[in-house]
Amino acid sequence: MTAKQTVQQKDILNIQSVTNPVLSPDATEAVFIVTQIDEKENTYHAHLYHLQVDSGKSTQWTYGKERVSQPQWSPDGSQVAFLSTRDEKNQLYLMQAAGGEARKLTDYETGVTSFLWSPCGKKIWLTSTLEDGKTFTDKKEKEEDKQPEALRVTTMKYKMDGVGFIKEDHHSQIGTLDLDTEEITAFTNEPFHHSLNAISHCGKKLVMGVNRAENKDFDFRQPLHLVDLDTKEETTLVDEEGYFGGATFSEDDRYIAYTGSVRTFENATHSELYIYDTENQTTLNLTEGLDAPIGDAVVADTQQGPNPPDAVWTEGNYLYFQVTTMGDVRLYFADLEGSLYPASQESEHVYDYDVAKNGQFALAAISNPVNPGELYRLDIATGERKALTSFNETYVNDTILVQPETIQFGGAGGFDVHGWLMKPATYKEGSKYPLVVNIHGGPHAMYGNSFFHEMQLLAAQGWGVLYINPRGSHGYSQEFVDAVRGDYGGGDYQDIMDALDNVLENHAWIDKEKLGVAGGSYGGFMTSWIVGHTDRFKAAITQRSISNWISFFGVSDVGYYLCDWQIKADMTNVDKLWKHSPLKYAENVKTPLLILHSEDDLRCPIEQAEQLYITLKSMHKETEFVRFPESDHNLSRTGKPNLRITRLNELTSWFEKYL
């Protein structure tokens, strides 16, 4: 019998991500996507798989150097359409369910962003980003004929992390593609971004999102409109400050479900599930009594490209959707009379799903702290489940994985604080071990009962790992998630320190003289803040962080409004911005600090790291700075595989040196 191996940095090359389960119309078949890393190509490949639901037999349908996404069955179940990058840009492909080669349907300059089948099965609605005045089929200029061009900027939302600079004269448009002729007909052409949400089962109505405001610098609306396809007459479903989307029609077309959040607490506001009644033209907030957000707020590092529906209707006008709650993401059931309850179990992360139209079972992609994720059939009535895939079974069986222990304690201000503690993978009773505190980003995200390779890696090095959800985290009450706003470094810092004191008091195996702390984004801010306010940690690693809210205001893609939303201050109150900036407290830092940052990060630009590094160096502090080229804010999750491994090596090497 082969001995189990400890978790290694390169394990991300072996872990496969199982996502995008989509049931056929009769629910006897399904398709899904498996993403894995090609080490030689230093990239990700995502392929389409077919599943026989009853037998659990799966077959790979696509191969090659591509990333497949958004698979959808035709209304009669005879074909599957999907997007693929096999020719660089995402283009639309069509495959017969009976087998055969995929047929390429589009070759647009900017590719296809999203699509929906028309109920007739003879055409497909799609969106693509077009230059104003151009059509879907206009050919792009040859690369060798291009000259560098200046970019004129007149708006404040002119760049986006992971995207780059945004051209003001390019907008997302909707068109219809005839499958027989492959001719595309434009449905929209106004100089605004249009999103494709849903098409009624009768084929006569469409829900689209469009914000027609001329100046959107301080406009954060995504109105939804119900469009009559014959007359193009629009009925507004919702038009208020906040984001709304994910619309879907009930089976009888009377109701439209959609999700969204208003701006009561800015980006800390819980998402809700709304129902619009097309007959009475009334709207119901179906989850008003649920003090938890709709959707998935879990942060993890192995699930690639999940694309769960916002909600799924079943016969009888019942609904299923995800809810983030107490460290779990669970599938929930609701009806229009107000019934609301979980339809999946506790202590796991349902990160993707579909539900059979008769409501008898769900097909769900599920992870837990010791399993990266597989597809399961969940019987709705009995709660029974059956594993349908085993892509990560060998890895799980051959690897020492640590099951975290749940912790909970009463924090400051009357809040309960929830989190997890992992013992070292090499733990032996009576020995002492270092402890690393790992802090998530967001801050409006959540650590959860999900597989997290980085946590397992730290435990494999012989360290304990503490990770909690301090105030500001999603998954708890609205009051809890809002409590961090205007108080960065206050109650949230106290929650982390109280959690540390709690585990030190109750777990004698932790060596209190060998404590480390790390985090990224908001977690990077908090790491930098912590070392400026206490010297109890022997090593710290700050990643993709904010160090100076004053400069962040002008350089981040979201800075000019996020400062107001999160710190409750703008450039008219630089004293408050500076008060909450870790850079202000650099002189107090005694902990050796490693700074990791991506060069193409537009969310927390690298100048934030540069300021912190040079300031600390000028004060003769113990610090080093590692820059990651060709990487954005999501390096640790979706970055180039070799650089993800380098980052993990940097983490473990720094702690090994000082702990």
CB atoms within 10 A of CB 168: 15
> 541: closest CA among 597, 593, 599, 466?
593
Question: Read out DSSP for 97-137?
Answer: TT--PPEE----TT---EEEE-TTSSEEEEEEEEETT--TT
By the 8 A CB rule, do 155 and 168 touch?
A: yes
CA–CA dist 409, 498 (Å, integer): 9
By the 8 A CB rule, do 552 and 566 touch?
A: no
Of these residues, 271, 547, 633, 636, which one is catalytic? 633
Q: Mean pLDDT, to the nearest integer, of 592-612?
A: 98
Q: How confident is the model at residue 139 (pLDDT cuts 50, 70, 90)?
A: confident
CA 116 to chain centre: 22
CB atoms within 10 A of CB 3: 6
> 448: closest CA among 298, 603, 228, 259?
298
CA–CA dist 46, 64 (Å, integer): 9
Structure tokens at 558: 């979201």
Task: Report the amino acid identity of residue 511.
Answer: D
Q: How confident is the model at residue 141 (pLDDT cuts 50, 70, 90)?
A: low
Q: Could you tell me whether strands 5-6 and 224-228 are parallel, antiparallel, or unpaired per DSSP bridges?
A: unpaired
CA–CA dist 73, 24 (Å, integer): 6
3-state secondary structure (DSSP) of residue 338: coil
Task: Report the amino acid identity of residue 220.
Answer: F
By the 8 A CB rule, do 111 and 90 touch?
A: yes
CA–CA dist 376, 390 (Å, integer): 10
By the 8 A CB rule, do 392 and 398 touch?
A: no
CA 584 to chain centre: 31
The arrangement of secondary structure in 408-658, i.e. its CATH architecture, is 3-Layer(aba) Sandwich (3.40)
| 8-state DSSP, 140 | P
Locate tokens 């945004």: which residue? Answer: 166
234: pLDDT strictly greater than 60: yes
Higher pLDDT, 568 or 137: 568
Three-state SS annotation for 413-469? HHCEEEEEEECCCCCCCCCCEEEEEEECCCCCCECCCCCCHHHHHHHHCCCEEEEEE
Structure tokens at 95: 């495959």
**pLDDT digits 0-9 by tens, 389-411:** 999 999 999 999 999 999 999 98
**pLDDT digits 0-9 by tens, 338-358:** 999 999 999 999 999 999 999
Structure tokens at 133: 């005045």
178: pLDDT strictly greater than 60: yes
CA–CA dist 120, 127 (Å, integer): 19
Please give the pLDDT value at position 142: 63
Structure tokens at 20: 């995008």
Of these residues, 521, 528, 547, 631, which one is catalytic? 521
1: pLDDT strictly greater than 60: no
**565, containing H or E segment:** none
Please say if 598 is a catalytic residue: no
CB atoms within 10 A of CB 280: 8
Q: Mean pLDDT, to the nearest integer, of 213-234?
A: 95
287: pLDDT strictly greater than 60: yes
Please say if 580 is a catalytic residue: no
CB atoms within 10 A of CB 427: 14
Q: Which residues contact 203 (CB under 8 A, 6 or more apart)?
A: 118, 119, 120, 229
Burial class (CB in 10 A: 0-12, 13-18, 19+), 522: buried
CA–CA dist 234, 298 (Å, integer): 36
Please give the pLDDT value at position 607: 98
Quickly name the fold that domain 251-398 has.
Neuraminidase (2.120.10)
Angle, CA 160 vertex, CA 641 and CA 519 arms, to 5°: 55
Please give the pLDDT value at position 144: 64
Please give the pLDDT value at position 100: 86
By the 8 A CB rule, do 438 and 465 touch?
A: yes
By the 8 A CB rule, do 437 and 423 touch?
A: no
Q: How confident is the model at residue 88 (pLDDT cuts 50, 70, 90)?
A: confident
CA–CA dist 271, 324 (Å, integer): 10
Q: 570-590: string of b/e by CB count within 10 Å (b at 16+)?
A: beeeeebbeebbbbbbbeebe
* Backbone Cα Rg of the chain: 25
By the 8 A CB rule, do 616 and 593 touch?
A: yes
> 237: closest CA among 203, 270, 266, 197?
197
Q: Could you tell me whether strands 464-469 and 433-439 are parallel, antiparallel, or unpaired per DSSP bridges?
A: parallel
Please give the pLDDT value at position 562: 97
Locate tokens 């022997």: which residue? Answer: 538
CA–CA dist 652, 457 (Å, integer): 8
**pLDDT digits 0-9 by tens, 34-46:** 999 999 999 999 9
Q: What values do phi and psi take at 440, rounded to 5?
A: -80, 165
What is the location of CATH 2.120.10.30 in the chain? 251-398
What is the location of CATH 3.40.50.1820 in the chain? 408-658
CA–CA dist 436, 330 (Å, integer): 28
Q: Mean pLDDT, to the nearest integer, of 439-462?
A: 98
Structure tokens at 68: 């497949």
Task: Report the amino acid identity of residue 617.
Answer: K
| Residue 604 Cα distances to 437, 455, 472, 550, 637, angstroms | 22, 23, 19, 12, 16
Q: How confident is the model at residue 143 (pLDDT cuts 50, 70, 90)?
A: low
What is the percent of the chain with per-residue pLDDT over 90, rounded to a whole number?
95
| 8-state DSSP, 250 | -
> 244: closest CA among 232, 227, 256, 253?
256
The whole-chain average pLDDT of the chain stands at: 96
User: Is cis: bond before 443, omega within 30 of 0?
Assistant: yes
Structure tokens at 418: 């929830």
87: pLDDT strictly greater than 90: no
> 138: closest CA among 105, 103, 106, 102?
106
Q: Which residues contact 236 (CB under 8 A, 6 or more apart)?
A: 223, 224, 225, 226
Question: Read out DSSP for 593-659?
Answer: EEEEEETT-SSS-THHHHHHHHHHHHTT--EEEEEETT--TTHHHHS-HHHHHHHHHHHHHHHHHH-
140: pLDDT strictly greater than 70: no
CA–CA dist 400, 242 (Å, integer): 44
